[in-house]
Amino acid sequence: MVRAVIAIHGGAGAIARASMRAEQERHYTQALADIVARGQAVLAAGGSALDAVTEAVRLLEECPLFNAGKGAVFTHEGTHELDASIMDGRSLEAGAVAGVRHIRNPILAARAVLDNSPHVLLIGDGAETFAAGQGLEQVAPDFFSTAARWEQLERARNTHQVLLDHGGAAAGYRESDEGEKAGWPRDNAGVAGDVAREAGAMAGSAGEPLDADRKLGTVGAVALDLEGNLAAATSTGGMTNKQAGRVGDSPIVGAGCYANNATVAVSCTGTGEVYMRLLAAYDIAAQMEYGGLTLAQASDRVILHKVPELGGSGGAIAIDRTGNVALPFNCEGMYRGYGYVGEAPVTSIYREEPGAENNKEQEDDE
C-alpha cells in the first residue's frame, strides 16, 4: 500500500546559529511544520501529488520568511523578477514561468501553464499576459518588497556582490513590521498569518537561523499521493543584486525541478548556474533509472559530490516511487520538512539535530 508523503524546503546555506534564540528558530520550524501539515491534509483527502505541491509552494510564497513571492530579493536595478516551475510525474507534463513581476503566486502561473497551455515555459510579459488571462491575481511590484530585502540589496551593491540568499537578517536588518504589513492571508487554513507576523517581529530582533548573506534562496515541494503519483514544484525570487533578466535553475525543468513516476520527484535549491549545467534534478532520476542507484545513493552523488566539484553549493529534496525521502545538502543547513499522511511533520534546519536525518527510508522498502 502506498504511503502518501510530502517534503518541502525553504532554501539552504550557512548557519548563524550562535546569534539565534530557541524561540526564533521555532518560528521557522513552525512555519515549515504548518505547511507540511497542509500538504498532508491535501493528500489525506485523496488529493493529487500535483495539488499538494502546488498548495505547499503557494504557502511558501505567501510567507515573507522565504525568498519566493512576498519577501523576494531585489535585482541590481531594485526590481523583482520571480521564477517557478512544476512537473507531474504521472504524465511528464510541466509548466514554468520566469522573470515575472506582477503575478502574486508564480507557482499558480506555472500550474496554469501546465494545465492550460501547449507550452512548458513562458517568460516576462508573455507570462504576465497569460496569467492575467487565466484570472490569476496581479499585484503591484512593491507587493513583494520588504525593508529587509532592500537593506540586503544595498549591502550587495556596496560590496559588488551577487548574493545567493534569502534576506538580510544576519547583518542586523530590521523587519519588525513586515510580517504585520504583509503576512499570510487568513484563508490559509492551518497556516495563519500569526506565524508570519511573529516571524517578522523575530527577524527584526536578531535574524534568521541561516546566514542570510550566504543563503541559497529557493522554495520547493515534492509529494507522492495515494495513487502512487509523484510531483515536484519549485519557486524563487532569484539572487540579490542579480543582473536583470538572469534566470536560474528554478524554472528549468530537469535542473531545479523534475518528477517521473518511474523514479523520483526532486526540487533543488542552490547555485543555479551549476544546477543548470548538471541538470541536477534530472541527474538524480537518471542515476536511479540507468545506474540502478537507490534514492539515497543517487541524491548524495549529485548533491554531495557532483555539485561541489563544479564549485556549487546547496541541497535538494526528493521522494521516490516507493515513498522514501531524501533531504541532502552540502552546506551547513537547509530549511526542510516532511510528513507521511497520518504522522506528525518532521522539520529541521541544521545538519545535526533531532529528526535531521537526510534520508528517510520506509521499513517495508525492498
- Rounded to whole angstroms, how far apart are CA atoms 5 and 356? 17
What is the 8-class DSSP label of residue 46? T
- Count other Cβ atoms within 10 Å, centred on residue 185: 12
What is the 8-class DSSP label of residue 138? B
State which H helix or E strand residue 26 sits in.
helix 22-44
- Rounded to whole angstroms, how far apart are CA atoms 330 and 309? 11
- Rounded to whole angstroms, how far apart are CA atoms 222 and 314? 17
Nearest Cα residue to 344 out of 45, 36, 31? 36
Burial of 352: CB neighbours in 10 Å, binned 0-12, 13-18, 19+:
exposed
β-sheet bridge partners, residue 315: 269, 329
Task: Report, as residue numbers or ranges, the catalytic residues.
Answer: 218
End-to-end CA distance of the chain: 13
The three-state DSSP-derived secondary structure of 235-249 is: EECCCECECCCCCCC
Tell me the three cell numbers of residue 8. Answer: 518541502
* Dihedral angle sign, alpha carbons of residues 46, 50, 51, 55: positive
